[in-house]
Amino acid sequence: MKAVIRPSKAQGGVKIPPSKSMAHRAIICAALASGKSIISNIDYSVDITTTIECMRKLGAEIICDGSTVIVYGIKDFNRLADNNIECNESGSTLRFLIPVFSLTGQKITFTGKNRLLKRPQKIYEDIFRNAGLHFVQDEEKIEIQGALPGGEYTLSGGVSSQFISGLLFTLPLLAENSKIHILPPFESRSYIDLTIQMLAKFGIEILWENELTLYIKGGQKYIPHDETVEGDFSQFAFFGVLSAVNSPVDIYGMNPDSLQGDKQIIEILSQFGCDITCKNGCYRIQADKLTAGEIDLKNCPDLGPVLCTLAMFSRGTTRIYNAARLRLKESDRIQAMETECAKLGCLVTSSENEMIIHGGYTAPKEILHGWKDHRIVMACAVALSVLGGEIDGCEAITKSYPSFFEDLKKAGIEVELYD
């Protein structure tokens, strides 16, 4: 799918879809709680439907009724409906569920698409092999067998918080008490806090012994709970930057008290010169002049692509650091944004762990490419709302935000989609 975007003035208002991060966590917790839970405000992106299908295979009954999901959770781990677990491109689904599915004791094969199985999984490989369990990975699958035991685990804090969250979903169900020791540098702690927050709502207690140690009491049980998923600050960021580089729109459906790490977009926009107001979960952002600055991505790596767009329209030179994980996403997001920003007249240089963006832009003379990556497509679309142009590979948005272009139109931007 391609999108032709014409320079147009942003206006009106947009309701941001529910948090993908929180929806994954709520659905998994509900599926592990024996009984009925109702999860409201669900957006059926490919990632979320993937997690739903996986939990069905674990034995949960899940009924989708509009934006509400009714979940009848599993009573035990003897109800596995299928040993082949398709994770598509969802890193959250894969990494959250490898430890959970291990508790079936059966041989499980996880598959995925595009770059998913090329993304680092060595932390789990080491954990399984150290426990004497089966773990094999190649370019087509990951195969496991054997239930992870309780006890002491030591994990790097600098690769992905998803490995820690995967253990946190699983270890409370074991008879033994457990601890997770996190080796610094510890990045994306905010995502661990989101997991702990959701687990608490479903009756699971996780304690911080200190800044780098988690204590997990064994023998716990998930309790059914009804949950409404809050708005997604990862997706909010695209319309926040649209408001900053184009003109203001009302952005609503948000929780100002959210623990989401990507809420850092509010602080970053303010740092770059935006005036920000919020009333009853509705944000309004406007800027007369944007000034470049330094951005630490340690706790908000998903903001990387759209922050390149913000930097492009800012006076001066922006440095984005702690960015190495951008190379391990659906695309190498550093390379992708370097390439696409160059087409827009903006010089971007990089090292393994940082990006330098020199503010400046021109209308593109060639088609932009989406790199099979939803966040690259959306970041480019925000830039083209000012400059005009065309993007191909736009079907990638279905991974996280299927209604993105519809919402962009609601925000006053002229968009034409075609195959």
Contact 310, 245 (CB under 8 A): yes
CA angle 32, 18, 418 (to 5 degrees): 120
- Give SS3 for 383: helix
Four-CA torsion 322, 341, 14, 20, nearest 10 degrees: -40
279: region left, alpha or beta (phi > 0 left; psi from -120 to 50 alpha): beta
Backbone φ and ψ of 309, nearest 5°: -65, -45
Backbone φ and ψ of 377, nearest 5°: -60, -50
CA angle 163, 168, 173 (to 5 degrees): 135
Strand 294-296 versus strand 282-286 pairing type: unpaired
CB atoms within 10 A of CB 130: 10
Residue where the block lists tokens 């994770």: 87
Contact 118, 331 (CB under 8 A): no
CB atoms within 10 A of CB 40: 15
Contact 339, 350 (CB under 8 A): no
Cα–Cα distance measured from residue 384 to residue 390, given in angstroms and rounded to the nearest whole number: 8
Q: Closest Cα to residue 30, out of 169, 236, 220?
A: 169
**Those residues with Cβ within 8 angstroms of residue 414's Cβ, 6 or more apart along the chain or in another chain:** 5, 6, 8
138 part of the active site: no
Cα–Cα distance measured from residue 74 to residue 399, given in angstroms and rounded to the nearest whole number: 27
Contact 28, 100 (CB under 8 A): yes
Catalytic residue, chosen from 302, 392, 407, 419, is 302
DSSP string for residues in 320-372 = EES-GGGGGSSS-HHHHHHHHHHHTT-EEEE-SSEEEEE------SS-EE-TT
Interhelix angle for 304-312 vs 264-271, to 10°? 10
Active site residues: 302
